[in-house]
Amino acid sequence: MNRAVTTIRVCVAGAGIMLVGCGNSLTERQDQAVASALPYDSVACDQLFARRDALAMQYGLPLDAKPVFMRQPYGMGPLTPDIRPERRRQAEAARGEIDAMNRSLTRRKCAEETGRMAAQEPTAQ
């Protein structure tokens, strides 16, 4: 009887751990950080450079930031809950936005148009 109760408790605990990851998994949140560059194609190059530079400065990120993906054990990614602090999640989302802005700037050849590089450090003013 005691062994059966222990087995049931282990199974319930395991199911609970798996359910914690549903909808809040680390893999799912990391995928959301990847942004499309298409919405930025309608923004003027100078404005896009300014937005990108401000976002990078706000989170202390480099201008050539790209989304970061943590390695997960095979098959465990969707089950691993995202326990990162909110500030880190926001910084990772900003990395995705900066990368999308840079892809738009590069595709539209804004660097040639404005004389700035797509991932040039902002000048101190």
> What does the domain layout of the chain look like in residue ranges?
2-72+81-114
Please give the pLDDT value at position 117.
61
Note down pLDDT in tens along the chain; length 125 residues. 577 767 777 666 565 555 554 557 656 666 566 778 888 899 999 999 999 999 999 999 999 988 877 666 565 666 667 666 778 878 888 988 999 999 999 988 887 766 666 554 444 44
Residue-level pLDDT at 52: 93
Per-residue b or e along 28-53, where b marks 16 or more CB atoms closer than 10 Å to that residue's CB: ebbeebebebeebeebebeebbeebb
> What are the two backbone dihedrals, phi and then psi, of residue 24, each rounded to the nearest 5 degrees?
-135, 30
Distant-in-sequence, close-in-space partners of 50: CB < 8 Å, separation ≥ 6: none
